[in-house]
Structure 1
């Protein structure tokens, strides 16, 4: 019989460990809303809440628990104003500004207008937002205002599940390792030096752990991505490139993912510490218009 040889760093068949909750945490019901799962480890719709109204402390806490347990929450048909969207996001902390993206009604609202004659940008790549900052975003609240008739879905991947399923030999190589993140690779695809050079001093390269610990759940998660992670500290370039290529491919595993089909006025609220996401660019020349508010996070450890 011929040798059954799998290329080094290949993806293997077999059952994966799909653990949604941290070790030792039991399932509990939600008392203040209905939650409908949309994925095995990630993604759930929340029904019975009007996000235009202020959150009580009890509702905010239960939503935060749902966010930690499901990593991305979906709210159908909210139709928020930009101010209401900002107010909702501010329940989780300081709002973030991003001078690299188009501004909406205020400095902390980012507007994406795609399709038609617009240049296709910042789509069809797995990434976590702004990992080139010393304090990458805690999370983000995205609302779709204009939705194509077909296409324009968004996907999220659970990076704790991705870490859980790494071979022990790979975990041993990356536990304690650090990687460099830089905004230039992600934004250099779309902007010229005249826009990027003035921002290099504001956003110098930063180092983050390859495996970060979630500050609220304690879970270990892969924290490298295609858009902003340039190399692993202390490795020669070929070794770093090969290992990073393997690690970023873990977001591609369907068992770790959820896919959401938008309708106008829908909201997605995701934990940027625990996930990566992928905006699917399959709808041109139809239009897709969205606004995003991001929440400043902490320094990964």
Structure 2
């Protein structure tokens, strides 16, 4: 009987990292994510994420169970309330969230909820995942399931580079300010109650020490303590930084693609330019350590 040695035994030196932009985005090859990672390989992947904010793997044909097992090597998984409702009765309820185009039958309810929440549709949909929580998740692993032949890319923004690009005057104005993250309309729709949370607009990354410009434009952002006009002025300056191509990386999905990003260091959005195609990805969130002294 022959013995097969899987790629979980290879060293970090076998990984190949190809940067896509100077500070954000890198493709990693030389590893098969279906199998457990050696500790040094796991640590090298994590350090690459910290450096480039989001990393991509190609030609990884994972099952849902293998997707979960890979993500779990980087921390406990966070069960999202919307996924928990959809997966009621499953042992892994809430661990996997489908990311798909809103079906026509659900579109009216979605638009009604946005109108009721007074969402400002002039904002672009740059966001981070679970920023509505007091302790947001640190990482997200997104797996391609059903991908259109063209369109449907995802854009990530280096939120540290976005902060660095601000003028000193704007940095001074933003210092010490907090912005609201209000996701109540969507949470209430799945029977989950959570208060409005405010985070610093300029956060210090827990592991790298980098200053991060961090606003979720899908969650009714408003700056605490400012009148509406000044709040919108400053938020527009933030958005202008997110929109700059030199602060972004754009990823074109293919079957077998995986994206793994640092949710504390980036914002992102999916480009909706694929019409009625039933684009589907599955996301798993990795919980952050709640350091209560920081709360």
TM-score normalized with structure 1 length = 0.80
Q: Quick check: 1:108 aligned with 2:95?
A: yes
CA contact (8 A) 1:136 1:298 kept: no
Mapping of 1:14-163 within 5 angstroms?
A: 31-101=13-83, 103=86, 106-114=93-101, 119=106, 125-163=125-163
The Cα offsets for residues 44-96 of structure 1, whole Å up to 9 and x where unpaired, read as 11011000110111111111110001111100011111111111111221111
Distance 1:87 1:118 in 2: 34
Distance 1:267 1:41 in 2: 19
Residue equivalent to 2:288? 297
The Cα offsets for residues 99-118 of structure 1, whole Å up to 9 and x where unpaired, read as 23574673210012337757
Residue equivalent to 2:192? 199
Q: Secondary structure at the match of 2:37?
A: coil
CA contact (8 A) 1:115 1:286 kept: no
* Alpha carbons of structure 1 residues 239 and 113: separation in structure 2 relative to 1, 3 Å: closer
Q: Secondary structure at the match of 1:249?
A: helix
Match of 2:255 among 242, 249, 264: 264
Aligned length: 262
Q: Secondary structure at the match of 1:132?
A: coil
Task: Write 1 or 2 for the structure with the bigger share of helix.
Answer: 2
CA contact (8 A) 2:184 2:196 kept: no
CA contact (8 A) 1:115 1:284 kept: no
Residue equivalent to 2:9? none
Q: Secondary structure at the match of 2:222?
A: strand
Root mean square deviation, CA, Å: 2.3
Residue equivalent to 2:119? none
Distance 2:104 2:257 in 1: 24
Which is worse superposed, 111-120 or 52-61? 111-120
Distance 2:153 2:71 in 1: 22
